Structure 1
Amino acid sequence: MQERAFNLGLTLQLLGYLKPHRGHVILAFGTIALAAGFGQIGPYITQVAVDEHIAVGDWAGLRWMIAAFFGSVAVQYGAQYAQTLVTGMIGQRVMYDMRRDLFAHLQKLPLRYFDRTPLGRIMTRATNDIDALNEFFSEGVVSVFMDFFTLLAIVGFMAYIDFELALICCTVVPIIAVSTFYLQGLAMRAYRELRTRLARLNAYLQENITGMEVVQLFNRQQRNLRDFDAEHLPYRHAEDREIHCFAVFFPLTELLGTVGMALVLWYGASDVIDDRIELGVLVAFLQYIRRFFRPIMDISDRYALLQSAMAASERIFEMLAVPSEPVGGPQRKLPVASRGGAIEFRNVFFKYDPAAEDWILKDVSFELQAGQSMAIVGATGSGKTTIVSLLCRFYDIQRGEILVDGRDVRQWHAAELRRRISIVQQEVFLFSGNISGNIRLGDDAIDDAQVERAARYVNAAPFIERLPQGYTHAVAEGGSTLSAGQRQLLAFARALAFDPEILVLDEATSSIDTETELLIQDAIAKLMSERTSIVIAHRLSTIRSADQILVMHRGEVRERGRHEELLLQDGIYARLYRLNYGRS
């Protein structure tokens, strides 16, 4: 990560989000110039009023000066109102664009990215870092120009009134510039660490809140509190260093501004006494000198805002730069009637970490014809679920080939391939919404009749119809208000509603009680007779009728055949069968 507070490349990327809103940006600049000009004309009007009207007793001219003063204030107010409204609108629209881009990109990232990236860190990027950029767009970019135009107007009016006094006002500017770059550089390093620590803290909180049941069950509250303190302490120290920098910077700027005012008062009073300038000039300069340092301080403050925007944008664009999941070949748009589902693994080698020495799958080969069923059994960690992940091309293999209907999965378009596959997993994920929405998953092509038909097919309709609102019954996040068996039945209905060519039951009945399992056995049998099916389960009762059984052991295919054939071999499958049923 770069240590520069300003990064031209990142800044250009950020400003690129302003292009779709350039009309509003131009309007904002117009209101800024108007507000800056009319906002700084007041002291000049005061100088004219004092020297040309008050000093000579011209009350009629003074009334016109008062009217001009209030007129300039009214124009300034209107321009600042419009500028605040427009810049706030720009900031919100840019944040929407950026959040949408980030969310769209996250949905395209490979699962490997989510395997190694804590969820709390991702949420920090999508929330805290985006919010940091909101200030940059709504208050930073355009407001810097506001301060710049204001400073330009002040210097212009001062130089027009008296050039020598204007130079005296500027004598402390180099000191302010040096102190700004030094102190803000220290603040930038603290802020970078602050963002990193915040991401780690959010990841820790997310993990422990998600696992609260385990925390309370094993009485880990005090231990977790100590771990939280250990995570939060570096965050607090980084925040203290940033606060210290600003605690020094702002009083120092105020002090230098006071020194500048004292210089103007000293030299200006001397010039008035010596009749070199009029009293009104000194009165105007005393007003301008107070205004002169305000935009300088604001620009310095925007520099701090720029630092936070750079730190946040580095992380956001780093996430946006992560390569998306390969989409594969072109979509062929096959007709619905052209159903297939043949699967073939040819000498497949795979490991999740390419740098690891051990293979997760080693020389795995099998063939499954369309409409056939295959069961995969084996101990935990033998590679059963990995086979399913590779079939869906959630990961790319290192060696070998995986074919679906005679075509390498890398040549399939990913969306087209996955549209042909439905998976019912042991841990069913339900979205917040309602029952019907969790079955159709927002697919408008699946109407209510299809949803209800799928639910009846897997015997989910009875429990759904007993709910107060039936298919529109609200579902909490993760389906926490439903039992494990009910969530599993909804997963079956979801799989059926999408009418896949290939059905995968990944430990699909291991969380269901005996009564519920009996309800879905006939539905499973009907499903498997109509489409290619892969069953992964510890319960051998669900796989005895499969056309072939694959026995996995430490990533390798050790046995294959039908149920009766494998029992006669008296190998791994036979031992698993005896352990399950206690038979010899």
Structure 2
Amino acid sequence: MGKEHVWKRLAAFARPFQKQIGGALILLLLGTSAELAGPFLAKAMIDNHILAIQKPWYEFEQKPQVPEDLVVAINDRYYIREDALADAGLTPGSIQASEATVVAAGTTYYLIEGKIEQNGEKQFTPIEPENGRERFAVTAGDAAGTSVAPTGIRLTGEEVLAMYQNDVQPIIWLSLGYGALILLSAGFNYVQILWLQTIAQRIIQQMRMKLFVHLQKLPVSFFDKTPVGSLVSRVSNDTEAIRELYVSVLATFVQNGIYLLGILIALFVLQPQLALFCCLTVPLLALLVYVYQKYSSRYYAVIRAKLGDMNATINEMIQNMAIVQAFRREEGVQKEFAQVNESYFKVRMKEINLESLLLRPAVDLIWKIALTLIIWYYGSASFHSVISFGALFAFVDYMGRFFEPINMIMNRLSQMQQATISATRVFDILDTAAESQTAGTPIARPRGEVVFDQVSFAYNEDEYVLKNVSFTAKPGQTIALVGHTGSGKSSLMNLLLGFYPVTKGRILIDGKNMRKIDTQSLRSHIGLVLQDPFLFTGSIGFNIRMYNDAISDEKVVQAAKAVRADEFITRLPQGYDEPVVERGMTLSAGQRQLISFARALVADPAILILDEATASIDSETELAIQEALHVLSRGRTTFIIAHRLSTIQHADQILVLSRGEIVERGTHDELMAQDGLYQKMYQLQQGSLSVKVNG
């Protein structure tokens, strides 16, 4: 199955929630936009206000005709900052004013006459006071490296505040705006994550339900070939991996894709040259993604297969724990599991090594090299006013944000690969053809006439286990099937239940070809009791009722009494409400069998199939069940598969099978008179044949 087809089907599962997903993505866009706007505010705060101390001032002897809040009066002089001068519509060339500079030394500020280099060390030497103000000579190097010594005064705290009071409020508002953007981004992201998580859970809930329902529609032949652990892994582990796709991968790819686009736009707005430099790293990142996807897809396919094998091994061991411990095969089972576990570990390590090399470490290396080059070149150039410090700060911030989404995307690539492989495994199950019901029209309760007309059947092509089997079971008759192991007895009943299609010939139910009857409808009129009955977790009453709430408690009790199960059930502490643990292991084999008898009989089937049903019941209980069966078999056709021939002497017809063919048929007395295979089998079980031989 191609990746494009997998993604189309994943999109189909999400389509019913497209409005909710769209809303979550809009919130994601808003949150991302709010987060991306932050560095612009930081740039404005740094360049326009925090670094305002570096901007030159102009000194006037007379108060200029400009707005009052743009002028600062110090020592009978009037000062206007360069940006305020521009706000007043004036330029340095259009005014008669001398330039001044504010210089900071620790927490002390000096107003210096003339222009002075802000960077570098300075010495402040006290000189003769003027108008009662202490004055200083400032020794510093100019741009050409020569030493200059302008003079100036020390500013008081009130004077510093007066000179920069117009910057305080903008800094406060920009800080509040930055904080508001952070809160908005966090709020939007919280809501969108909650929405996506809820949507993803709903999608996976429906997918699991669809998968579970489909499994119930698959033919029995599918389960004969597929390990249980592998199926459990697909329903649980694989669907959980797909859930991560809808939650983490989808959100990460969309959010960080928007991030990258927004950051690139911001970078071009700030400094096109730096933005172009960032774009040079994109081909390297694309190469990393290509190489990772190429090799990781191979590993993840093997990883999922190995995980299924490991689950299958665990399931098999737990299911057969009694046999393992009885035969002291713990070490052998441990070695088998160790091999599977080691195989899983090795392929996992290959995938981890690939991730360790190509994901975050490689991206971090590219990012750090790019950042080093940017800081080295543009950082040094900033001293010559090629780029403002605020722009450089914002750019470095954006560069970090540019590579972080890439890291996030790269880290999610592994989850995307796992989800794709898991989706393929899930869709493989969903694409498995369900049990054929093309013929089927519903059938009312049949009278019970069953005709096998020249029926042949092969599990594998040309390997027939049944050959030209023909017989008729009239309504109300009891048909017994006997024969050695592998003679085809159970295969006959599997065909009657519709578990497998007939290869040749036909089966008629009340004269109607079974191919034209709805299989599910037919099974609703068939009762089945297996040699090894399975009880579900729940109560005893629940196991007799078997999910059919239409069956009343009275009918449950009647069925249990009919098969003598009521005798032991009423002795249990909670009676019919007694809890049944997994597989009913707290009950004896005979008790479980009696419950399965009651389960079959309470449904009042038209056709009853007993597959070695009395094998686990003691002789005394067997006699009681035989009496009950004589009564309950009236009005229904009963098929009995039996090895204990003493239990089928009452049968209306006994079919003796050998190698897939009916070799003898008749009643017990008729077959005993034929001196054939049935007679020998019966005498062997009764011990009379050995007596004759020894005698």
> TM-score with structure 2 length normalisation?
0.81
Amino acid at match of 2:332: R
Aligned to 1:51: 47
Aligned to 2:214: 105
Aligned to 1:324: 434
Q: What per-residue deviation string (whole Å, max 9, x for no partner) do you get for residues 508-544 of structure 1?
A: 1111011221221210111223311111111222111
8 Å contact from structure 1 (residues 350, 399) kept in 2 = yes
2:320 aligns with one of 203, 211, 214: 211
8 Å contact from structure 2 (residues 475, 635) kept in 1 = no
Aligned to 1:495: 600
Per-residue deviation, 1:240: 0.6
Per-residue deviation, 1:468: 1.0
> What secondary structure is seen at the aligned counterpart in 2 of 1:40?
helix
Per-residue deviation, 1:13: 0.6
1:301 aligns with one of 411, 418, 427: 411
| Number of residue equivalences | 575
Per-residue deviation, 1:298: 1.4
8 Å contact from structure 1 (residues 124, 198) kept in 2 = yes
> What secondary structure is seen at the aligned counterpart in 2 of 1:41?
helix
Which range is displaced more, 161-170 or 140-149? 161-170
Instruction: Determine the C-alpha separation between the residues in 2 that align with 1:468 and 1:331.
Output: 46
Instruction: Determine the C-alpha separation between the residues in 2 that align with 1:562 and 1:130.
Output: 55
Per-residue deviation, 1:263: 2.3
1:514 aligns with one of 619, 623, 631: 619
**Larger fraction in strand:** 2
Per-residue deviation, 1:143: 2.2
Aligned to 2:74: none
Q: What per-residue deviation string (whole Å, max 9, x for no partner) do you get for residues 172-207 of structure 1?
A: 221122123213422222222111111111111111
Per-residue deviation, 1:214: 1.2
Q: What per-residue deviation string (whole Å, max 9, x for no partner) do you get for residues 335-360 of structure 1?
A: x6xx5000100111111122xx4311
1:41 aligns with one of 37, 46, 52: 37
Are 2:454 and 1:344 aligned? no
Per-residue deviation, 1:574: 0.8
Aligned to 1:580: 685
> What secondary structure is seen at the aligned counterpart in 1 of 2:361?
helix
When residues 331 and 228 of structure 1 are mapped into structure 2, their CA distance, relative to the original with a 3 A threshold, is same
Are 2:393 and 1:283 aligned? yes
Are 2:27 and 1:31 aligned? yes
Instruction: Determine the C-alpha separation between the residues in 2 that align with 1:499 and 1:442.
Output: 15
Amino acid at match of 2:626: Q
8 Å contact from structure 1 (residues 188, 304) kept in 2 = no
8 Å contact from structure 1 (residues 264, 285) kept in 2 = no
Aligned to 1:461: 566
1:353 aligns with one of 443, 457, 460: 460
Instruction: Determine the C-alpha separation between the residues in 2 that align with 1:184 and 1:506.
Output: 53
Amino acid at match of 1:178: L
Instruction: Determine the C-alpha separation between the residues in 2 that align with 1:578 and 1:180.
Output: 75
Instruction: Determine the C-alpha separation between the residues in 2 that align with 1:415 and 1:205.
Output: 33
Instruction: Determine the C-alpha separation between the residues in 1 that align with 2:36 and 2:606.
Output: 73
Structure 1 ranges of 4+ moved more than 6 A: none
Amino acid at match of 2:44: V
8 Å contact from structure 1 (residues 133, 309) kept in 2 = yes
Which range is displaced more, 56-65 or 283-292? 56-65
2:170 aligns with one of 48, 61, 76: 61
Aligned to 1:411: 516
8 Å contact from structure 1 (residues 375, 549) kept in 2 = yes
Aligned to 1:231: 340
Per-residue deviation, 1:208: 1.5
8 Å contact from structure 1 (residues 87, 137) kept in 2 = yes
Instruction: Determine the C-alpha separation between the residues in 1 that align with 2:293 and 2:608.
Output: 59
Aligned to 1:554: 659
Aligned to 1:158: 267
Mapping of 1:49-128 within 5 angstroms? 49-56=45-52, 57=164, 58-128=167-237
Aligned to 2:536: 431
Instruction: Determine the C-alpha separation between the residues in 2 that align with 1:389 and 1:83.
Output: 52
Are 2:381 and 1:266 aligned? no
Per-residue deviation, 1:333: 5.6
Instruction: Determine the C-alpha separation between the residues in 1 that align with 2:460 and 2:376.
Output: 73
Q: What per-residue deviation string (whole Å, max 9, x for no partner) do you get for residues 535-570 of structure 1?
A: 111122211111111111111000011111111110
8 Å contact from structure 2 (residues 528, 600) kept in 1 = yes
Amino acid at match of 2:283: P
Instruction: Determine the C-alpha separation between the residues in 2 that align with 1:184 and 1:535.
Output: 58
Aligned to 2:349: 240
Instruction: Determine the C-alpha separation between the residues in 2 that align with 1:149 and 1:328.
Output: 50
Are 2:486 and 1:376 aligned? no
Instruction: Determine the C-alpha separation between the residues in 2 that align with 1:122 and 1:332.
Output: 31
1:528 aligns with one of 633, 643, 649: 633
Instruction: Determine the C-alpha separation between the residues in 2 that align with 1:46 and 1:142.
Output: 27
Instruction: Determine the C-alpha separation between the residues in 2 that align with 1:51 and 1:61.
Output: 12
Are 2:8 and 1:12 aligned? yes
Instruction: Determine the C-alpha separation between the residues in 1 that align with 2:387 and 2:558.
Output: 93
Instruction: Determine the C-alpha separation between the residues in 1 that align with 2:11 and 2:374.
Output: 39
Which residues of structure 2 form unaligned runs of 5+?
Answer: 53-163, 690-695
Instruction: Determine the C-alpha separation between the residues in 2 that align with 1:252 and 1:283.
Output: 25
> What secondary structure is seen at the aligned counterpart in 2 of 1:351?
strand
Are 2:308 and 1:194 aligned? no
Q: Using CA pairs below 8 Å that are at least 6 residues apart, which structure has the higher relative contact order?
A: 1
8 Å contact from structure 1 (residues 432, 479) kept in 2 = yes
Among all aligned residue pairs of Structure 1 and Structure 2, give the percentage whose two residues are the same amino acid. 39
Amino acid at match of 2:43: Q
Instruction: Determine the C-alpha separation between the residues in 1 that align with 2:314 and 2:24.
Output: 41
Per-residue deviation, 1:449: 1.1
Instruction: Determine the C-alpha separation between the residues in 1 that align with 2:207 and 2:349.
Output: 30
> What secondary structure is seen at the aligned counterpart in 1 of 2:376?
helix
Mapping of 1:476-491 within 5 angstroms? 476-491=581-596
Are 2:363 and 1:363 aligned? no
Instruction: Determine the C-alpha separation between the residues in 1 that align with 2:245 and 2:660.
Output: 51
Instruction: Determine the C-alpha separation between the residues in 2 that align with 1:98 and 1:327.
Output: 23
> What secondary structure is seen at the aligned counterpart in 1 of 2:436?
coil
Q: What per-residue deviation string (whole Å, max 9, x for no partner) do you get for residues 84-118 of structure 1?
A: 11111111111101100110100000000000111
> What secondary structure is seen at the aligned counterpart in 2 of 1:363?
strand
8 Å contact from structure 2 (residues 479, 651) kept in 1 = yes
> TM-score with structure 1 length normalisation?
0.96
Per-residue deviation, 1:287: 0.9
Instruction: Determine the C-alpha separation between the residues in 1 that align with 2:378 and 2:172.
Output: 27
Per-residue deviation, 1:445: 1.7
Amino acid at match of 1:322: T
8 Å contact from structure 1 (residues 168, 263) kept in 2 = no
Per-residue deviation, 1:506: 1.2
8 Å contact from structure 2 (residues 524, 605) kept in 1 = yes
Amino acid at match of 2:36: Q
- The alignment's C-alpha RMSD in Å is 1.4
8 Å contact from structure 2 (residues 457, 464) kept in 1 = yes
8 Å contact from structure 2 (residues 441, 516) kept in 1 = no
Per-residue deviation, 1:573: 0.8
Q: Larger Rg: 1 or 2?
A: 2
1:172 aligns with one of 281, 284, 299: 281
Which range is displaced more, 180-189 or 571-580? 180-189
